[in-house]
Structure 1
Amino acid sequence: MCQHQPECPAARCPDGQAARSVASHPEQGWWLLCNGILLFEDTGSLLPDGRVTAPHRPAATVATS
């Protein structure tokens, strides 16, 4: 599917979210990567086979005094 050189990582690879964006709608909060991953601004994703990856944004820390 990918026409880039070097080829982007496949959707099932651990670094699959490093693929290049082929369509973006930041106002709606999503990007389509060339390997078929639909990436959301909350860091969650939808893989081409329908599996969902939960958001993996680091938890916010609360300052205590």
Structure 2
Amino acid sequence: MCQHQPPCPTADSPDRESARLVAHHPEQGWSLLCNRVVLFEDTGELLPDGRVIAPHRFATAV
């Protein structure tokens, strides 16, 4: 459970990506958030219950 004040959003919250970083591995392309969400460089996510959130970065104009 998160010990931060205010607490980090849960893995089921729409703002789950705003949880604090616990581990950051840019060389491998992923970060672990306090709510146990694994956030990937391509904006995909792996939730603690095994669900996968597809990458959702916005397309940029060239």
Normalising by the smaller structure, the TM-score range is over 0.9
CA deviation profile, 1:7-65 (whole Å, cap 9, x unmatched) = 00000000011100001101101000010100001000000000000000112335xxx
2:4 aligned with 1:4, yes or no? yes
The alignment's TM-score, normalised by the length of structure 2, stands at: 0.94
| Superposed counterparts of 1:17-56, under 5 Å | 17-56=17-56
Q: What is the aligned-residue RMSD (CA, Å)? A: 0.9
Task: Give the distance between the partners of 1:12 and 1:42, measured in 2 at CA.
Answer: 20
Structure 1, gaps ≥5 residues long: none
The alignment's TM-score, normalised by the length of structure 1, stands at: 0.89
Structure 2, gaps ≥5 residues long: none
| Equivalent residue number for residue 57 of structure 2 | 57
| Equivalent residue number for residue 13 of structure 1 | 13
Partner SS for 2:39:
strand
Partner SS for 2:32:
strand
Fraction of identical pairs, as percent: 71
* Count, aligned residues: 62
Partner SS for 1:60:
coil
